[in-house]
Amino acid sequence: MSSDAPEGNDAPASGDITLTVSAQFSDTPKADWDTLSGASRNISETPYNPFVSHAFLSSVEDSGCAIRETGWLGQHMTLRAGDGTLLGAVPAYLKSHSQGEYVFDHGWADAFERAGGRYYPKLQISVPFTPARGPRLLVRTDVEPHAVRQALAEGIKTLTGRLGISSAHVTFAADKDIAALREAGFLMRVDQQFHFFNRGYENYEDFLGTLASRKRKALRKERRTALENGIEIDWLTGSDISEAVWDDFFAFYMDTGSRKWGRPYLNRRFFSLIGERMPDDILLVMARRNGRYIAGAINFIGSDTLYGRNWGCIEDHPFLHFEVCYHQAIEFAIARGLSTVEAGAQGEHKLARGYEPVITRSAHHIPHPGLRRAVAEYLESEREDVAEFNRILADHTPFRKG
């Protein structure tokens, strides 16, 4: 166990199975991590999710983006058999704030602290700065998965108690994780995103053919307008992404981040590290005008899903954001045979561009009886609101009726 981890976190789950907590993600060797479901392309039984890969999670820490000094102290949990075999793992962080999570609990924190409680630090089980669904209770593929998920869920509760903190939060979790967490007594929360579903389209025009005529004409016009003024689009993956390209993209990212949030979460070193460690999992959609790049969006490529993340520009052009982030992502997904595009958090404007409303889920362990009761009441009402809004939006997709 790393010396940065709280004392006494080696907790037996059952028999000779041991749960260990480490402050450094790199304490788990890549060869071990790659045996977990979703963490490697080499495991064909489960879809690969690049955000839970060793490359991504090590890069976000090694770059200094998610470390103690930025309010993300690693509390990474590993479950091992008596012979040392890795059975499961949970990427987790002790958080001193609620930034970079995209599932908002600031109101819970304010209410608890006004009542005399201490909300921070809290335990966050998530991928830093990444509102994408994926496994959070990672399980070795050749073991009984439900039992391991149950042990990991109980381990989260045990760690929360030993740390003496207010709560633990598992955000953007996969359905199988949610089932295990529900059984363990976690409170359930829902939210909404917009995803594109590739229903076997041959190309983008094939997709357009499924839209109502008026919507189809509007998107064609929008795309033509976006590429006026001599703008061209490049898809860059693998060795095509040089350090010079990263310099251009980072300038876009900093411009958007500084205007929208005030302090971008990711630094320049992070992009170099992922470019070195997972180049084939990255798609940069870059807009070029007069021989130089003026805008771009970064996407991550899973085995069946394209995950849209950050965007930025140094020139403003009508509809260019929609072209680079949404239309090009759909074209790439169709060309690669990917089933889904997850375009990030929020954004009802995605609906008109062929992205459909979906429900995302998180789970929350709150030991304090008063805070748990208040949050449970809030979540019940919130679930009803999200479900109703989702039904309304589903009736306004651009697809032909019937």
pLDDT tens digits in sequence order for the chain, 402 residues long = 333 433 334 443 445 899 999 999 999 999 999 999 999 998 878 899 999 999 999 999 999 999 999 999 999 999 999 999 999 999 999 999 999 999 999 999 999 999 999 999 999 999 999 999 999 999 998 899 999 999 999 999 999 999 999 999 999 999 999 999 999 999 999 999 999 999 999 999 999 999 999 999 999 999 999 999 999 999 999 999 999 999 999 999 998 766 655 578 999 999 999 999 999 999 999 999 999 999 999 999 999 999 999 999 999 999 999 999 999 999 999 999 999 999 988 788 999 999 999 999 999 999 999 999 999 999 999 999 999 999 999 888 999 986
Residues 378, 236 contacting (CB under 8 angstroms): no
The residue segments making up the domain with residue 71 are: 11-192+358-394
CATH number of the domain encompassing residue 323: 3.40.630.30
Please indicate, yes or no, whether residues 327 and 375 belong to a single structural domain of this protein: no
Whether 345 maps to a domain, the answer reads no
Task: Give the rounded distance of the alpha carbon of 190 from its chain centre.
Answer: 15
Residue 120's identity, in one-letter code, is Y
Q: Look at the block and give the residue holding tokens 């958080």.
A: 95
Please indicate, yes or no, whether residues 206 and 90 belong to a single structural domain of this protein: no
Query: DSSP characters for 43-55?
Result: -TTS---GGGSHH
DSSP 379: H
Please indicate, yes or no, whether residues 150 and 214 belong to a single structural domain of this protein: no
| Closest to 44 (Cα-Cα) out of 300, 237, 274, 304 | 304
Please indicate, yes or no, whether residues 222 and 261 belong to a single structural domain of this protein: yes
Cα separations (Å) of 244 from 266, 290, 301? 17, 17, 21
Its pTM stands at 0.93
Q: What share of the chain is helix, strand, coil (3-state, %, to 5)?
A: 40, 25, 35
User: Given CA atoms 37, 39, 43, 47 in this order, what sign does their dihedral have?
Assistant: positive
Q: Give how many domains the chain has, as a whole number.
A: 2
Please indicate, yes or no, whether residues 187 and 203 belong to a single structural domain of this protein: no
Tokens found for residue 370: 């008063």
